[in-house]
Chain A
Amino acid sequence: MSKYYQPEIETMPYEEMKKLQDERLVAQVKHVWDNVPYYRKKMEEKGVTPDDIKGVDDLHKLPFVTKDDLRECYPYGLLAKPLGDCVRIQSTSGTTGKRVVAFYTQKDIELWEDCCARAITAVGGTNEDVCQVSYGYGLFTGGPGLNGGSHKVGCLTLPMSSGNTDRQLQFMTDLGATIICCTPSYAAYLAESIHEQGLRDKIKLKAGIFGAEAWSEEMRKDIENKLGIKAYDIYGLTEISGPGVSFECEEQTGMHVNEDHFIPEIIDPETGEVLPLGEKGELVFTSISKEAFPLLRYRTKDICVLSRKKCSCGRTLIKMAKPMGRSDDMLIIRGVNVFPSQIEEVLIAVGGGNITPNYLIKIDRVNNTDTFDLDVEMSEEMFSDDVKSIAKVENAIKDKLRSILGLGVNVHLVNPKTITRSEGKAKRVIDNRKI
């Protein structure tokens, strides 16, 4: 078996890839102009016609698409193919407002599953493997995507869906699953259960593909140690197709973007201006192969960095770093970009557990300088009868944050359950600056 699922694409020299992207982009722009009145109107408003788009270098001329556009067009407004050609919908879990529904033709499903097959092959998956898919099945893209990819690779596929941990562990041990696909938090939970039940010697797992939520390097190490596997990241979003928009290879230093189907850009979230390669900004995707629901310049709100550094795996596909947060969540304190996720990583590391201590970021402006305070709820793990030991924990949080952010922060330890939680989700930031 090859170490690549589609070697001709995955190791294609960039000049050739760019030519492929140019062709597909030109065709895609014409496709949406002809078939989606909403796109045509947006382009006309910006004074752009398909004739202006001759290739990837003209991509920046196109208007952005945001989640608000998707909501406004719900459900059929962005559909670019007759319903008769569509075979599937998937949907986001949409916590607020209207759901987002995405449509797929058979060809769209094929290319999505190809992307997932590339991801499974990249973690060493072959037709000899038993692949346990423990993502949810249904409207959520996680289960169906990896399921299809697993079939394409030829793995024996266990369509477990999520939940029912006892059954998961029974199939995992009885059928000798070698690859597991699920969310990182469920992987951590399974790892804990395997550890508790002393099943470590009975499992045959070698790799895990974990995505659909943010996770830290600490969590990766923890899962890898507890299960004795390699844990790989996968990225995707329903709007673009689902998991497999990008995937990690054996180097585990970022995810290769399937750029023959999805062109990534990094923009300044404030100005919308395209940033040079290697700079941090908001990730934007253009799907150039999809038929039914092609999005041009879709703003993901994920903040990340792209790189074309040569990868030791031999793939030439551009790599994206693990998103470091959402542009919505980004704070600018004394000119420094701060993401709550960075603070969470520090607290997990210092707390020494898998649980994030509850915290609250408080920002204000005093004498034209930003003040940065962090309330952290005390936990049994951090507590001691000795002031010195507690001070050590406080200082560890301060020092780590200073080294990561380059910012001084005032840490305050507070009583547990004093930071308000609403609907299970804690409010993380109070910004009192009046600018």
Chain B
Amino acid sequence: MLVKQVSAFIENKAGRLNEIADVLANSNIDISALTLADTTDYGIVRMIVSDPEQAVLALRESGVICKITETLAVAIDDAPGGFAKSLKTLTDNGIEIKYMYACISHAVGKALMIVSVDDPEKAQELIASTDAGKVNPSEIYRHI
């Protein structure tokens, strides 16, 4: 399935990441997954949160530059090689993978991969029919 990821710009200064976590906590928004891509000057925080729209509103109000992008949630199979197979399905069909990171589903205690691709719609179609694509939304957005 496709999940809405919230990404935010942060300067590489102490405390910036805390600020973002505080803003979300104060709005009762839970973070299911978080990853930071950084350069020497700045970083991009990418998050899966319980309410992406509300998160963006709260962050913007605090002056944080942020946006929502569609990413693909892929279930990690218990069997070895399962995730590799999913990736192969995507790349074999010309989908470019920009980045990915892991996420634990609290609901079912299962690991998921969040994958950013150049064509989310097409990637979703390719994965949906496989076991890895059968991710229940409740496993991702905790409050849904």
Contact = CB atoms under 8 A, between A and B. Distances in A.
Interface of A: 378-380, 383-388, 390-391, 412-418
A273 B116 CA distance: 62
Contact of A383 (B39, B41, B66): B66
A383 B11 contact: no
B37 A415 contact: no
A385 B11 contact: no
Contacts, number: 51
A383 B67 contact: yes
A415 B9 contact: yes
Range for the number of chain B residues in contact with chain A: 20 to 34
Interface of B: 5, 7, 9-11, 16, 37, 39, 41-42, 44, 46, 63-67, 69, 98-99, 116
A231 to B, nearest CB: 32
A413 B41 contact: yes
A390 B67 contact: no
Nearest to A391: B39
A57 to B, nearest CB: 56
B9 A383 contact: yes
Q: Is the interface of B mostly helix, strand, loop or mixed?
A: strand
Nearest to A388: B98
B39 A386 contact: no
A390 B63 contact: no
B7 A415 contact: no
A343 to B, nearest CB: 18
6 contacts: A384-B44, A385-B5, A386-B99, A387-B44, A415-B9, A417-B63
Given A413-B41, A415-B10, A385 B46 contact: yes
Contacts of B69: 385
Contacts of A418: 11
Contact of B65 (A380, A388, A391, A412): A380
Nearest to B7: A385
B66 to A, nearest CB: 7
B67 A380 contact: yes
A415 B63 contact: yes
Given A385-B69, A385-B116, A387-B37, A413 B42 contact: yes
**7 closest residue pairs by CB, A with B:** A385-B7, A383-B65, A378-B9, A378-B65, A415-B11, A385-B69, A412-B41
Nearest to A415: B11
